[in-house]
């Protein structure tokens, strides 16, 4: 993976979840991106985090490891089987069931039911063509000083290639533009893994 990706090696719980994620096609965030999520959760002293796209639990474990010990991760995924595997992965990593609230459903059906201004961090990693909609939901869900983060902001180089016009690539490009132009936000694009776009809501 390279020096930066390997700098913080993953333990057995993360490696196990990573392998399952690859097997079921729920491509996990890379180790350096995971470490960035843990860092953000710790910096924010996060008690409440929303994750859009549980997958098999890699990003969830990294987030939980940065959050306060009494923090609750709300994790949304349309595939109940992925959520079952994610839950198992959290248990493998030593987290009690009360630390995660798994909500099965399509992100854009579930997110409107979550409370405004109640979250410290929102991590987006589900349907790429929905990223602009996730941004709008995240801005509603975050408290002032909260952070939204998007995985796959570089999308294997496709975002930077003007020849690529498929819906996923176009939507990621759009969210990059929206975040840069929004004066309520303090943006940052981290080139870790496949790219982690972060923005703090003032
Ligand atoms: C890239 S994987 C998430 C990987 C996970 N964040 C990790 O790092 O381990 C994307 C997940 O989003 C889910 N998903 C796809 N479209 C969705 C939607 N519209 N609403 C909710 N979940 C969705 C898939 O079932 C899949 O588990």
pLDDT in tens, 76-99: 999 999 999 999 999 999 999 999
pLDDT > 70 in the chain, percent: 100
Burial 141-164 (b: 16+ CB within 10 A, else e): bbeeebbbbbbbbbbeebbeeeeb
User: If pLDDT is split at 50, 70 and 90, which confidence band does 1 have?
Assistant: low
The minimum-distance atom of ligand 1 relative to the CA of 106 is: 20
Ligand 1 mutation target, pool 5, 20, 24, 26, most atoms within 8 A of CB: 26
Q: In the structure, which protein residues have their CB atom closer than 6 angstroms to any atom of ligand 1?
A: 21, 26-29, 53-59, 76-79, 82, 106-107, 125-127, 130
* Residue owning the nearest CA to atom 19 of ligand 1: 106
User: If pLDDT is split at 50, 70 and 90, which confidence band does 112 have?
Assistant: very high
In whole numbers, what is the pLDDT of the chain averaged over residues?
Answer: 98
Cα 165 to Cα 113: distance, rounded to the nearest angstrom = 32
pLDDT in tens, 66-77: 999 999 999 999
For residue 19, give the 3-state DSSP assignment.
helix
Cα 118 to Cα 138: distance, rounded to the nearest angstrom = 10
Task: Estimate the crossing angle of helix 31-43 against helix 58-66, to 10 degrees.
Answer: 30
Burial 80-95 (b: 16+ CB within 10 A, else e): eebbbbbbbbbebbeb
Cα 128 to Cα 167: distance, rounded to the nearest angstrom = 8
């Amino acid at each position: 993976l390279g020096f930066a990706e390997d700098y913080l090696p993953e333990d057995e719980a993360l490696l196990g979840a990573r392998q399952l994620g690859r097997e079921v096609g729920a491509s996990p965030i890379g180790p350096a991106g995971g470490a960035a999520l843990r860092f953000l959760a710790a910096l924010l002293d996060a008690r409440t985090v929303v994750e859009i796209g549980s997958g098999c639990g890699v990003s969830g474990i990294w987030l939980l490891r940065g959050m306060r010990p009494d923090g609750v991760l709300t994790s949304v995924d349309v595939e109940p089987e992925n959520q079952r595997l994610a839950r198992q992965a959290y248990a493998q990593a030593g987290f009690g069931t009360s630390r995660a609230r798994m909500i099965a459903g399509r992100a854009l059906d579930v997110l409107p039911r979550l409370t405004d201004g109640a979250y410290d961090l929102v991590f987006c990693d589900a349907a790429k063509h929905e990223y602009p909609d996730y941004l709008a939901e995240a801005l509603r869900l975050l408290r002032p000083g909260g952070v939204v983060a998007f995985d796959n902001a570089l999308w294997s180089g496709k975002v930077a290639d003007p020849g690529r016009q498929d819906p996923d690539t176009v939507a990621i490009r759009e969210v990059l533009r929206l975040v840069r132009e929004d004066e309520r936000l303090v943006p940052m694009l981290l080139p870790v893994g496949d790219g982690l776009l972060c923005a703090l809501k003032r």
